[in-house]
């Protein structure tokens, strides 16, 4: 626990090396305490601090308040989320299919992810020059390459044709106004970075929350699975995705939690089902999404801000199979809770709010959440494997059934069996939507499948032409398969071309 807390503290106080510039030479004598990128990277401690800084952009994505939260963008784009926040313009731009390039959520994703890429580039560029333990050096480089891949993976799926920047940039750099690259070129870089990261001597699981071999291979499985779908449709990658997910399964380092309560218990972070998480610690860098998942001012929490920022539509919460434990009260969702002023009295929340992200201790007492934000968990890997193996093998194998049924058994549902390739494909996709709901997974799946989920029929429909339940007279178009490049980027870089429809 001490190692974990120290790691969080290091991320919380890290100074962005990418922002360090040399001061003007108005003094004859250089100030040796004024670091530049040319003088900083001299010790192993410098390498560690540079890599710590690459983790930091993950934190702001989960911020939630009366303006909503950046992470919510991917949830409202599915049509399965609702809100009580009247003033959160960015939510309604996405939710009501009127999105534009002024959306602050998209701008935050773009800025934070490219900040992470810039820090990764600098680490990859400078760490090899440091005289230090070679194994530790390669591990730091693997972390940096993992993150460069992770950030590019998010950007290419959200924005499509994006600039590739692989070296540090200053005002004199040729890449100051980069042109856009094709998605295929971005994926080539992602795969290259991750396969190089795989060669490092990193443990399968790292208790402090640093990048692990499990995280590297899980991300690579996700990348291969996405490349097999739209827009690249490299279907030969289904076999690669299945093989990589199988490596994670066969490592036996990860396993499903016995209960869903463990998904939001601070004591379980970086253990069991969790493969990779954004790290938080109460009192140092507290988990910051609690206000957004609380009902608006119903007085159930110790938090002063209770915004009603995001909750499930009734249709989606009702779409789970009869008897599905995940749909029971205080499993994935909750519809009532005790009052902060009197824990013996409860209030009806009026909608299904998200319990899988709910920090009980913080809401009932400290208002300082010790929860981590999950980026990858073992259930995701099982479902990646089942989906990819079905496509690679021309139908469901015994191991593919075992993978998806392990998740269904925890949900107290009957096993899948005797399905055709098409029926199994549909079943696994819907299982992903239900199991990974509100974890920033579903919109990415919809985009690579070109399918949207209809909770009223419990079926997948063509993405283009699909109607959200609350917008029966307005359909999704190809435009919604990408988000708009932010206005500020379009204004700053004349070489960018806006996505179609924006």
All structural domains of the chain, each given as residue ranges with its CATH number in brackets, are 1-21+33-77+95-181+477-502 (1.25.40.390), 290-371 (no CATH)
pLDDT one-digit tens code per residue, 288-326: 999 999 999 999 999 999 999 999 999 999 999 999 999
User: Structure tokens of 287?
Assistant: 């988990």
Contact 357, 319 (CB under 8 A): no
Find the distance separating the first CA and the last CA of the chain, reported in whole Å: 47
Contact 263, 358 (CB under 8 A): no
- Interatomic CA distance for residues 173 and 189, integer angstroms: 20
DSSP-derived letter for residue 455 is T
Average of per-residue pLDDT across 103-127: 97
Q: What's the alpha-carbon Rg for the chain, to the nearest Å? A: 23
Residue 40 banded pLDDT, cuts 50, 70, 90:
confident
Average of per-residue pLDDT across 101-127: 97
Q: Is the pLDDT of residue 18 over 50?
A: no
What is the per-residue pLDDT for 173? Answer: 72
What is the per-residue pLDDT for 358? Answer: 98
- Interatomic CA distance for residues 88 and 67, integer angstroms: 5
User: Structure tokens of 112?
Assistant: 């934070």
Q: Map residue 411 onto helix, strand or coil.
A: coil
Q: Map residue 95 onto helix, strand or coil.
A: helix
Residue 426 banded pLDDT, cuts 50, 70, 90:
very high
DSSP H helices, 162-300, are: 183-198, 213-228, 237-250, 290-293
Q: Which residues contact 362 (CB under 8 A, 6 or more apart)?
A: 282, 286, 287, 290, 302, 303, 368, 369, 370, 371
Closest by CA position to 380, among listed 452, 473, 275: 275
Q: Is the pLDDT of residue 20 over 80?
A: no
What is the per-residue pLDDT for 176? Answer: 80
Q: Is the pLDDT of residue 17 over 70?
A: no
Greater confidence (124 vs 19) lies with: 124
- Interatomic CA distance for residues 151 and 69, integer angstroms: 18
Q: Is the pLDDT of residue 15 over 50?
A: no
What is the per-residue pLDDT for 5? Answer: 66
Q: Is the pLDDT of residue 23 over 70?
A: no
Q: Is the pLDDT of residue 284 over 80?
A: yes
Average of per-residue pLDDT across 48-61: 96
Contact 464, 477 (CB under 8 A): yes
Residue 330 banded pLDDT, cuts 50, 70, 90:
very high
Q: Is the pLDDT of residue 1 over 60?
A: no
Q: Map residue 255 onto helix, strand or coil.
A: coil
Q: Which helix (H) or strand (E) holds 120?
A: helix 104-126
Strand partners, 459: 454
- Interatomic CA distance for residues 271 and 206, integer angstroms: 9
Say if residue 394 is exposed, middle or buried (CB neighbours under 10 Å; 0-12, 13-18, 19+).
Answer: exposed
What is the per-residue pLDDT for 133? Answer: 96
Contact 308, 295 (CB under 8 A): yes
- The mean predicted confidence, pLDDT, of the chain is 93
DSSP-derived letter for residue 452 is E
What is the per-residue pLDDT for 11? Answer: 66
pLDDT one-digit tens code per residue, 357-375: 999 999 999 999 999 999 9
Q: Is the pLDDT of residue 24 over 50?
A: no
Closest by CA position to 79, among listed 355, 475, 350: 475
């Amino acid at each position: 626990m001490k190692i974990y807390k120290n790691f969080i503290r290091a991320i919380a106080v890290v100074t962005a090396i990418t922002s360090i510039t040399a001061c003007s030479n108005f003094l004859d004598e250089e100030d040796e305490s004024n670091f530049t990128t040319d003088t900083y990277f001299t010790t192993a401690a410098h390498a560690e601090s540079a890599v710590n800084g690459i983790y930091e952009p993950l934190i702001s994505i989960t911020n939630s308040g009366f303006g909503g939260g950046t992470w919510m963008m991917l949830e409202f784009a599915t049509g399965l989320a609702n809100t009580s926040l009247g003033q959160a313009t960015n939510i309604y731009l996405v939710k009501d299919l009127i999105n534009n390039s002024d959306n602050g959520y998209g701008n935050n994703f773009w800025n934070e992810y490219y900040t992470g890429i810039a820090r990764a580039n600098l680490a990859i560029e400078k760490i090899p020059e440091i005289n230090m333990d070679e194994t530790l050096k390669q591990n730091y480089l693997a972390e940096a390459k993992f993150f460069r891949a992770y950030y590019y993976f998010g950007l290419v799926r959200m924005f499509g044709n994006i600039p590739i920047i692989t070296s540090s940039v200053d005002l004199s750099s040729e890449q100051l106004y980069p042109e856009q690259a094709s998605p295929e070129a971005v994926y080539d870089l992602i795969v290259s970075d991750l396969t190089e990261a795989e060669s490092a001597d990193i443990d399968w699981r790292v208790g402090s929350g640093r990048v692990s071999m499990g995280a590297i291979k899980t991300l690579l499985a996700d990348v291969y699975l996405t490349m097999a779908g739209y827009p690249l449709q490299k279907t030969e990658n289904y076999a690669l995705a299945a093989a990589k997910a199988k490596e994670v399964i066969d490592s036996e380092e990860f396993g499903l939690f016995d209960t869903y309560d463990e998904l939001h218990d601070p004591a379980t972070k970086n253990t069991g089902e969790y493969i990779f998480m954004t790290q938080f610690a109460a009192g140092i860098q507290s988990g910051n999404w609690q206000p957004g998942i609380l009902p608006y001012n119903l007085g159930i929490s110790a938090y002063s801000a209770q915004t009603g920022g995001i909750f499930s539509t009734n249709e989606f919460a009702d779409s789970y199979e009869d008897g599905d434990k995940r749909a029971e009260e205080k499993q994935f969702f909750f519809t009532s809770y005790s009052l902060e002023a009197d824990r013996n009295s409860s209030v009806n929340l009026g909608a299904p709010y998200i319990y899988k992200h709910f920090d009980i201790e913080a809401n009932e007492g400290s208002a300082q959440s010790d929860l981590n934000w999950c980026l990858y968990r073992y259930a995701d890997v099982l479902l990646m494997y089942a989906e990819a193996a079905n496509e690679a093998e021309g139908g469901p194998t015994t191991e593919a059934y075992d993978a998806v049924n392990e998740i269904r058994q925890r949900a107290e549902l009957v096993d899948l069996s005797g399905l055709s390739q098409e029926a199994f494909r549909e079943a696994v996709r819907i299982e992903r939507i239900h199991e990974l709901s509100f974890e920033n997974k579903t919109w990415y799946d919809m985009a690579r499948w070109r399918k949207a989920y209809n909770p009223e029929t419990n079926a997948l429909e063509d993405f283009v032409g699909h109607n959200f339940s609350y917008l029966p007279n307005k359909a999704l178009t190809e435009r919604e398969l990408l988000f708009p490049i932010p206005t500020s980027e379009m204004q700053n870089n004349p070489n960018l071309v806006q996505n179609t429809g924006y």
